[in-house]
Amino acid sequence: MAQNRPSDKAVEESSQSLFGDIAHRLDEDDVIHRRGSPPWIITFADMITLLLAFFVLLLSFSDLNVTRFRDVSGSLQQSLGKEEALPLVVAPPAETQLAAGPALAATPLPEQLAKDLGTLQKVMSTDLVGQKINVRVEDGHLILDLPKQAANGVISQEMLDLYAKVAEAQSEVETLIEVREGRDTPEKLNETAQRLQQIRTALAKEIGEGKAQVERDGERIVVRMLVEGSFYSGSADLSPDFHPLLTKIGRSIAGGPGRITIEGHTDSIPVSGNNRYRSNWDLSGARAGAVADFLIEHGGVSRERIVVRGLADVKPLGPNTTREGRAKNRRIEVLVDAG
């Protein structure tokens, strides 16, 4: 039996032959895999790079349709079973996605109002995507802007369908839905937001000093000025210190479209010892008229755009029982319509 056993030398030669064959095969595979890439791969890589640059260029010129994006996003979230989050009041979108405007702080809506807003958007989702309507929140109410009806007074079937959907939505929500016809287009709404920011920028110094306030009331821009230091006591004569502010206001609103309403407001203390003004109605109207004359003569505002109103003490901002409240109520407001 010992004679049939292979010698150590034979085993060593067999091992060397086996490993040598494997090493030779590995060398051949390495040569094969180290061959260069085919020539077409370079052209393909150049084409992909150019396509990427092309789509980035398209993105830079694109406008984000916020209404459609939110509708599609909400539909996807609902399909994926994501819990509803509170909608946020966000800043108006920039003209392009690569140039963002000044950011405003997001304010969460009350829980019930947010829930009702989501329900209304769900019921009107088809019309929201087509931009036939606009849904928004204003002073705790749901506002639904509808297209303007035909001048002949005939209600189209499309409008009837919209009103039927509104009635359906109202039965499902607790918040009152206010319907307004003749809404502005999304482009006009964005234009109003831009004008608001322009006026705020022009009056930034006066706003910081507390001499003026600039707000948005629906589709109106409201510029509010306190009477203290603006007029002489019990008079409609403008103080010279008030002229620079009025000049800035006039220049900031003169170039845009829309009607300009100038409102005069007073506190509830009756006018006494003044032979020129019999009541606060006369005094508030005279002060609003003085501001209108100044804006026309020195601010470059067209006379045809201006409407003057004296409202006395019928729209107070604070209680007339305190000194601070009466100071807030004595004011001039310049209301600029959207178009």
Q: What is the pLDDT of residue 116?
A: 84
DSSP three-state, residue 235: coil
8-state DSSP, 83:
P
Q: So what's the pLDDT on residue 4?
A: 56
Along the 339 residues of the chain, how does pLDDT read in single tens digits? 445 555 655 656 665 565 566 555 655 555 555 566 788 888 888 899 999 998 888 877 776 665 556 666 666 666 666 554 444 444 444 444 343 444 444 456 788 888 888 888 888 777 665 556 778 887 777 887 777 665 555 666 777 777 788 888 888 888 888 887 765 555 555 677 788 888 888 888 888 888 888 988 777 889 998 877 778 777 788 888 889 899 999 998 888 778 899 999 988 888 876 678 888 899 899 999 999 999 999 889 998 999 999 999 998 888 989 988 888 888 999 999 865
pLDDT at 95: 43
Is the full-model pTM beyond 0.75?
no
Give which of 64, 72, 104 is closest to 88, Cα–Cα. Answer: 104
Can you give the length of the chain in residues? 339
- What are the boundaries of each domain within the chain? 10-61, 66-182, 187-337
For 288, the token pair is 């609003």
- What does each C-alpha distance from 63 to 91, 96, 120, 336 come to in angstroms? 15, 5, 25, 27
CB-based contacts of 70, cutoff 8 Å, min separation 6? 121
pLDDT of residue 182: 63
Closest CA to 185 of 59, 333, 63, 58: 63
Q: Which CATH class is domain 187-337?
A: alpha beta
Q: Are 338 and 220 in contact (CB under 8 A)?
A: yes
Q: Would you give the end-to-end CA distance of the chain in angstroms? A: 113
pLDDT for res 289: 92
